[in-house]
Amino acid sequence: MDAVDTRLVASYAVAIAFDVLMPVGMVLWARRRLGVAWKVVGWGAAAFALSQLLTRLPMVQVAQYFMRDALKTSSVLLGVWIVVLSLTAGLFEETARLWAFRKPLKDFRRWRDAVGFGVGHGGLESALLVGGLAALGLVNVIALSRLDPSTLPLKPEQVAQVVEAKATIAALDWWMPLLGAYERLGSMVVHIALSVVVLQRFIRGEVKWYWLAVGAHAVFNALTVVVGKLANAAWGQQAGAFAGEAMVTVAALVGLWVILYFRRVDAERDTAAIQALT
């Protein structure tokens, strides 16, 4: 029985806490500093649940199960699948944002509402999906580290799978879970920025803003995966992880610029409206 890497366990614990508490802090900030309504945050979370947890992700899991062998042997199919995953992520999530601002949030179409919506959307993803997966990863680390495959009543191929899983955990750097926490922060900024962009569909009356959000979302997802895989193949797992996070950082910086730009535009529009009334 191998000893559990306490540094890795602590790293997972910190990442899980961040995945859950960061969205809570963001929601409180949006409520206190921006005056965002609970309804807006709630529909942001609901949009993620409807567009991912209850629809797209189950379909993706089923499709990947049936294509699992082909995806391992065909690089062309894997590339096509990455494109499909990226496009569907953009279509499902941005359509959910569009519908929310068109229907239940038709009276909440200001910059601050888009920010609150993005916080709810990205917050549920971080706390429930990513935090849940990190918790599952922590359980696997502890359980597999203490497990002796030779004592299990399993078939030889099953024992080999357990041994492979133990080797994967043993090769995992203790700080890797912290990268996942860092990614959540960047992803939150991107979710807010995409919500601000989709809102322009109604403020400016042009459908191109919706398609811009879909395209940006798809490109962001695809580049993050592809750059990470290329770096992993060329220089190893650590390089792949850092390359992927570098892409998240670039997307977050662009997203921050988008958020601040439209904040200024929103403020100028309000000022012009007030002046027109006086």
Q: What pLDDT digit, counting tens, does each position of 58-116 carry?
A: 999 999 999 999 999 999 999 999 999 999 999 999 999 999 999 999 999 999 999 99
141 inside domain: yes
Quote the CA–CA distance of 47 and 70 in Å, as a whole number: 32
Quote the CA–CA distance of 149 and 196 in Å, as a whole number: 51
pLDDT per position as a tens digit, 12-31? 999 999 999 999 999 999 99
Q: Residue 110's pLDDT is what?
A: 96
Q: Residue 278's pLDDT is what?
A: 64
Contact 113, 40 (CB under 8 A): yes
Take residue 125 and report the two structure tokens written for it: 């993803």
Quote the CA–CA distance of 47 and 213 in Å, as a whole number: 15
Average pLDDT estimate for 183-187: 97
Quote the CA–CA distance of 226 and 224 in Å, as a whole number: 6
- Secondary structure percentages of the chain, helix, strand, coil, to 5: 85, 0, 15
Percent of the chain with pLDDT over 90: 81
Quote the CA–CA distance of 155 and 67 in Å, as a whole number: 24
Quote the CA–CA distance of 217 and 4 in Å, as a whole number: 38
Give me the domain span that covers residue 179: 6-276
Average pLDDT estimate for 176-204: 97
pLDDT per position as a tens digit, 211-253? 999 999 999 999 999 999 999 999 998 999 999 999 999 999 9
Contact 138, 172 (CB under 8 A): no
Residue holding tokens 């602590």?
A: 10
Q: How many structural domains are present in the chain?
A: 1
Number of H helices, E strands in the chain: 11, 0
Amino acid 97 reads R
254 inside domain: yes
* Confidence (pTM): 0.94
Contact 97, 195 (CB under 8 A): yes
131 inside domain: yes
Please state, in angstroms and as integers, the Cα–Cα distance from residue 46 to each residue in 19, 31, 80, 109, 118, following that order: 18, 18, 29, 17, 11
1 inside domain: no
Q: Given a cut of 70, is residue 2 above it in pLDDT?
A: no
Residues 6+ apart with CB under 8 A from 67: 77, 81
Q: State the chain's mean pLDDT as an integer.
A: 93
Q: Residue 277's pLDDT is what?
A: 67
Quote the CA–CA distance of 202 and 139 in Å, as a whole number: 45
Q: Residue 12's pLDDT is what?
A: 96
